[in-house]
Structure 1
């Protein structure tokens, strides 16, 4: 009888044990998750020490969680960045390497299925599981706001969609609606927020109370410090303050529902600020973004300088949800880092990023790869003999309201370094670039030809080569790189 009981109980014990192929199974009470994603926001918060900006809601979120100072997008363009987040993969690996034309969130459900009339030629490979697909398969209610911008549409099956994009009061209503619609299901809400995406005036005319003062801000080193630049930046920072108000509205709803303390909140931006030498480029300002994680069991009032990447977001969310992480994911879960499990914290020495093309036009195609070790930032331009055209929103005042491009050209006499940096962006760049971010935050002094840094550049060159090989990117023998590039490096 004893053996008979063991033969019944032991298999049942194994069946109920929460492990499956080395991955945790879904817990009895799956966590609710709010993923907040602003549009074109660099690492600018008052909690990060940004001068002339006030972000009280995000500062509070940071005090109640973990604020990362070294968080990076994988690419500085909307569609490939968002698809990278939703797959945990680099754009060259998941197939979504440039911006794509996609349905609007206000479109009918049919536009998000396989019969959609808006399907771009570029998109995530069918065999790759996206975050919304995995969550839906495990009974999560999923919702999204502001814009879609991912391809193909059926690979991102959200339960609900709403185009609200910059109004704090409307966010209260929409997030409340989503939570109520989720019923007894755990929810994942991707709360996209449009500011500070250009046109800044579009946001500031409706919400002028969030404008900042031009004389109180600090101008990034890659831009000339002129009145016109300060005017443009004051609107950019004002848009961040508006985004902060939208975040505050979302936080208020969670508190009203009595679920704020038990909801996992992740906040970041899809890419850096909407300026040349940032957005749609391989440079630091386009990749460096804010990142806050807050929720049950997550440490409070912690500032971390750990190197983290957008490819880490999907595995982190699935790890907290107790769900299997697809084998295609190239990032690492940040759960141990967030909860303070120091024995299991991933030891990342390098951050990798890329640029391929902002949009479909060939003039915007300029493939580059980058690696950052925490101080030195190395860029490999794969087509150094090709000229590049910055996207319209980085150049044109109409309809984008961008005054910074022309202002930089006009500042040639008094700010030659910033002027030359802009010219280099749109001309034939050096094949290799190396910058010391500790002394040159604007990336104005290329050290690639300085013999003092040859050991460093050779190291980062090989690190980048092995990453490209490991992640399925086109690559070359690192031993051939010096010879191949020597005539093109300047």
Structure 2
């Protein structure tokens, strides 16, 4: 019977991949930590205690220029699982479930079709409609050990010990000394910040221990010589101004890949070396398919950096930010090996918008309190103030991204080069992030946003042009924005109203008042914000925002609540509707409920 079984397995292997025996195909193991940038000994952090990862790096390829596409988990994981850029799919906003086009497969499906056993332990969080059939197993008990004898596997293990929730409760005893912890220059040395940083380093040490345990388990199973191991983090983090923010601290991630000797030829450099290649999460799905010799689908937007289908190194790594939890924002970023460029499309919003989940860490409030007391320097204060339209940082000279060079004539050439790269990228993948989410929500009921962007209904060139002038802080654009309020396209009208908010332009009062009757609720809310911010019609603005809270569109309600949170006592007419929203049964991702509770708290405090 054993002989017959072996023969059948051999036949199956040949059928699945002619010319390659199943046992010759590499296993792939992903070990993914949560919410940490390159705070590891192997990346030069002398305060970190990460012996297992440091040793692993010595035996592997360490990538020093690896980046998440988004500084938060769900959108970045959408990139990983699809091999596509979320702003091209309409999946950039945190914890949304807008559908992907029908041709997009979660890439483990291709592995299953090629005979691989695919297993995920256990986080998904893919920010789109799930495809459960991508996995043979997906649970907190999932393991490659359940595969058939000789079957190759692709296994993911998620280590959540370093997740930001690990800082919500201060620990009484720490291994890392809060008085010795290195603080970035943008963080004041409050007791809470020092404690949270030290506690975070403790969590990284435990993450390293768990990583070592998984690696040892692989060796104990006798699989180390047949398994390619990836270690990386799902985004940067985790204290305020890292996770969710477009800096190195939010987007720069560790990536270490080990190829055992029999597969070393699948890499272009030796184990134990350091690669300066630019790598982003767009490249991970193509790379896995390339390593196991499965054809990379043409629709994937990244390029393999290992395996038989390697692509040339890209010149730039692109990143994005959309809505994070209950707060609306929009930025795009371009990174080469020396500079990071950031384009902020809602510069009127401060960096440090209140997020209920982020504020659970004691350190955030301690930082905010010092700002309100006027006790911070300019670098530490910046987080609590509105953004410039553009930011440019020399990452080599300024790893913490605190010196904005966008206005420096000496860096004009680099600014223009990266600005152009951003503009080309937006257009090449038809970025739908310029569409307000309240409109995305309605479109997605019938059409994936990727398809909508190619339907002829999305005038991307005109939208980007309007968004550019709306957010440039150039007062000379006010007349053009007022004219654009009469455009046939509601997305154009939205950006026109938003631009008048950014400029605080009082000249647009009549056109904005007319826009309060716009057929599109997202435009009415944007017009109300402009009227309120400019002080030209606060009663009309509050009335329109209050009416928007009655909408059956949750993202219209959320957009209105974001504006109402700026109005203090003036929000009184909207409080009854906010109470009604807050009283609803909250599911995990009902961000309008969360925002309503924040508004009620702030309104109470304003009395």
Q: TM-score, normalised by structure 2?
A: 0.64
Residue in structure 1 matched with residue 537 of structure 2 by the alignment: none
Q: 1:82-231 counterparts in 2 under 5 A?
A: 82-100=77-95, 121-150=97-126, 151-154=128-131, 157-163=134-140, 174=141, 177-200=143-166, 211-231=175-195
Question: Across the two proteins, how many residue pairs are aligned to each other?
Answer: 423
Higher strand share: 1
Question: 1:409 aligned to 359, 368, 376, which one?
Answer: 368
Q: Give the 3 Å change call, closer, same or farther, for CA 442–407 of structure 1 in structure 2.
A: farther
Does the residue aligned with 2:65 lie in a helix, a strand or coil? Answer: strand
SS in 2 for 1:395: helix
Question: What is the aligned partner in structure 2 of residue 9 from structure 1?
Answer: none
1:307 aligns to 2:307 (yes or no): no
Query: Residue 330 of structure 2: which of 367, 381, 390 is its match?
Result: 367
Question: How big is the shift at 1:28?
Answer: 6.8
- What is the deviation of 1:387? 5.4
Structure of higher CA gyration radius: 2
CA distance in 2, matches of 1:261, 1:130: 27
Structure 1 segment 411-490 matched on structure 2, within 5 A: 411-412=370-371, 415-424=376-385, 427=386, 429-473=387-431, 476=461, 485=472, 487=474
The yes-or-no answer on 1:40 pairing with 2:43 is: no
The Cα of 1:406 is off from its aligned counterpart by 1.7
CA contact 1:40–1:195 (8 Å) conserved in 2? no
The 5 A counterparts of 1:61-72 are 61-72=56-67
What is the distance in 1 between the residues matched to 2:188 and 2:461? 38
User: Once superposed, what is the RMSD of the aligned Cα atoms?
Assistant: 3.1
The residue that corresponds to 1:273 in the other structure is 237
Q: Note the C-alpha offset of 1:202.
A: 7.5
Judge conservation of contact 2:164–2:237 (CA < 8 Å) in 1. Answer: no
How far apart, CA to CA, are the structure 2 residues paired with 1:215 and 1:457?
A: 39
Quote the offset at 1:212 in angstroms: 2.0
5+ unaligned residues in a row in structure 2: which ranges? 1-13, 265-269, 433-459, 476-501, 504-607
**Cα deviation, residue 245, structure 1:** 1.0
TM-score, normalization: structure 1?
Answer: 0.78
C-alpha distance 482-180 of structure 1, shift in aligned 2 (>3 A): closer
- The whole-number CA distance in structure 2 between the counterparts of 1:143 and 1:65 is 23
**Greater relative contact order: 1 or 2 (C-alpha under 8 angstroms, separation 6 or more)?**
1
Instruction: Indicate conservation of the 8 Å contact 2:60/2:272, yes or no.
Output: yes
Q: CA deviation at 1:60?
A: 1.6
The answer to whether the 8 A contact 2:23-2:151 is kept is no
Higher share of residues assigned helix: 2
2:341–2:390 contact (8 Å) kept in structure 1: yes
SS in 2 for 1:139: coil
SS at match of 1:238: helix
User: Alpha carbons of 1:146 and 1:455: their partners in 2 closer, same or farther (altered >3 Å)?
Assistant: same
- What SS is found at the alignment partner of 1:200? helix
1:122: how far off?
A: 2.1
